[in-house]
Chains A and B, each alone.
Chain A
Amino acid sequence: MIDKINRSHFYNLIMKSIKGFFIKKYIRSPKREWLRYDSVFMIVGLIISVATLTIALAIFEGYETVLKDTIIGANSHIYFFDDRDGAMNEAKKERAGEFLDNKDEVVSYAPVVISQAMVTYGDRLHGCILRGIEWQKDELPVEYYRFISEGTGALHNANDAVLGFNLARKLNASLGDTITISTPLATSVTPLGIRQNNLQLRVVGIYRSGMHEYDSNYLFVDLETAQAFTQISGYSMIEVKLSSDHIDRADYLSYLWRHELDGAYHISSWIDFNEYLFSLLEMEKWVIFIIFSFLVLVASFNVISSVSTSIMEKRRDLGILKAIGYPNSFLKNLFLQRSLILAFISIVLGIIIGMGIAVILANQTLLLLQGDVYFLDSINIRFNLFNTTVVLAVALLITFLTTLIPIKSITRLNVTEILRNN
């Protein structure tokens, strides 16, 4: 055996620990003890529960991250409204512009006109949110060009329009089609009767952000076209994009600027509109984690059964080892470490299998989310080191605690009784 030990430095390192030697011998016993059914139940139980937990966390993390990315991307981060709840005039827009030009946190800003309208194509009719934007700007405060999935985002002609992906599908409209928008707000009375304000637009691009709500409602046109159509003399609001370091403190900045501008504007942030959603998601993620941790707890009952069976089977060995002087603490440690090694391997396998299944789920098209309920219609996953570490630590802790229960019996084993009865 010494010849064998000298052959391998790695083997030498393992052999330095007597416990390691025992555990190795027991795990690699010619009887393949760890392949017994109770050990298999323990391993499979841990793998399934940890895989489930990993999948659940990956989906929740992915959902939260993608939703946040999309909301932050498709929207600007701070909104300047007129303090009188009406349209913002040119002078106020200029003043806000001067203020924002001096702010380091600001990446870009632009005025926008927003109004509700009806859109028709052929015999189909749908409500929409009309967004008049300064599409010529190099950097818009919202991710607009990134989400153009077909055609172009450039609105060179006054009647060019970009249609949300789901809205286009509902209308059965595609690139090059002419759609009509109308609004009852801007009707006028003429000698010939009431004239409905209609505008014919040509679809030049399709917008697809992944957010069901936006893709089902948005219709983008040039800012001036929107102003003329809605008869808004001014702007609905100014949208502000912050640099990435400041996105998460948008609510604080909006509060600060409101005071710096002496309340001349009503200023809100993306956090004000979505705070509860993200708090809820964060809470739900941990609720799911706790619930699925119970799966690991249930699986760890197999650990109790496996370790108990193992102690029963090794009763004779334990009696002999006790007789030749091995203390209870050594023997208990032996079973604890053996159990933790098997659990560690099972948990790591569970995490790997869970990640694999999560990747498959994210790439399949059979099971999709209901976009109108969950905002997003695809399953997104994200893995992060923190979640993986928490899963590993919690599963190991549960295994550790459940192993402590059966190994107590080692202390109670009566050596003389074992020697007599065997």
Chain B
Amino acid sequence: MYLLETINLKKSYREAKGKLEVLRGIDLQIEEGDIVAITGDSGSGKSTLLHLLGLLDSFDSGVIKYFGETIDIKGKQISEFRNRKIGFVFQFHYLLEDFTAEENIAMPALLAEKSFKRSIEKARDLLRYFDLFDRKDHYPNELSGGEQQRVAVARALVNEPDIVLADEPTGNLDERHSEELLNLITDLNKERRQTFVLVTHNKEIATSMPTHYHLEDGLLHKYKE
């Protein structure tokens, strides 16, 4: 059984000129413990696909299944499902400026754990793992770009989600920090069997991942070397 599966997923946007079909039937299967890289040109619909996989947006037609179960995107429990099962990492870290590093990491756990103390403990464990413990009381603007993105990854992991969806996680980092982050992702995958979906326009990064898809003309193609 696949962790995540999409069947003939379609998504279009209404524009002044007419309907813009971004995804024209996506069939994707992601197994537990995999790292899936999705590449594509700018505007090809990579982020749209990631948002659909993360249940952040509605789609025109098709099916999304988590562990074989069809997900109702308009269901009342969708926020809770997203909170428990999916972690997100965005290109521009998207940390909350009014909260410290450990509070940012604890944010998803506050909802899941309903305990401030337990959430902070989990955040601190991750800060230690990511070698950021001494930065726990720092606000996002007091952290370097690499540190910000590591905090964002830690936030995505705090609820021990089934899958982490990362949208251009290295897009805003220099080469050294990019490499550090990718090593972190592969380490997490090896040590914790954490499943990742990485959207990137960097083919070099994508090809280094176990599974690589390329999005073109609204369709997904498995990349073969």
Contact = CB atoms under 8 A, between A and B. Distances in A.
A8 B116 CA distance: 15
B3 interface: no
A415 B47 contact: no
B103 to A, nearest CB: 7
A31 B141 CA distance: 13
Interface of A is mostly: helix
Interface stretch (A140-148, A190-198, A323-331, A392-400): A323-331
- B57, B136, B167 pick with most chain A CB within 10 angstroms: B57
A276 to B, nearest CB: 60
Nearest to A2: B120
Nearest to A324: B108
Contact of A31 (B98, B112, B116): B98
A416 B117 contact: no
B116 A15 contact: yes
B98 A18 contact: no
Contact of A419 (B94, B100, B103): B94
A317 B79 contact: no
A371 to B, nearest CB: 59
A324 B154 CA distance: 13
B133 interface: no
Interface string A261-289: 00000000000000000000000000000
B206 to A, nearest CB: 21
B28 interface: no
Interface in A304-361: 316-317, 319-328, 330
B92 interface: yes
Interface in B105-155: 107-108, 110-112, 114, 116-117, 120-121, 136-137, 139, 155
B80 interface: yes
Interface in A390-422: 415-416, 419-420, 422
Given A320-B96, A324-B108, A419-B90, A5 B117 contact: yes
Contacts of B102: 1
Nearest to B81: A325
Contact of B56 (A15, A18, A21, A323): A323
A322 to B, nearest CB: 8
Interface stretch (A22-30, A113-121, A202-210, A252-260): A22-30
Interface in B180-201: none
A18 B109 CA distance: 11
A325 B98 contact: no
Nearest to A415: B56
A265 B163 CA distance: 96
A15 B106 CA distance: 13
A326 B47 contact: no
Contacts of A330: 111
B80 A325 contact: yes
A313 to B, nearest CB: 11
Interface in A33-86: none
Given A21-B116, A324-B83, 5 more contacts: A1-B120, A25-B103, A324-B107, A325-B83, A327-B79
25 contacts: A1-B120, A1-B136, A5-B116, A15-B116, A18-B110, A18-B111, A18-B116, A21-B116, A26-B98, A317-B96, A319-B94, A323-B56, A324-B82, A324-B88, A324-B111, A325-B79, A325-B81, A325-B82, A325-B108, A325-B111, A327-B79, A328-B79, A415-B57, A419-B56, A422-B92
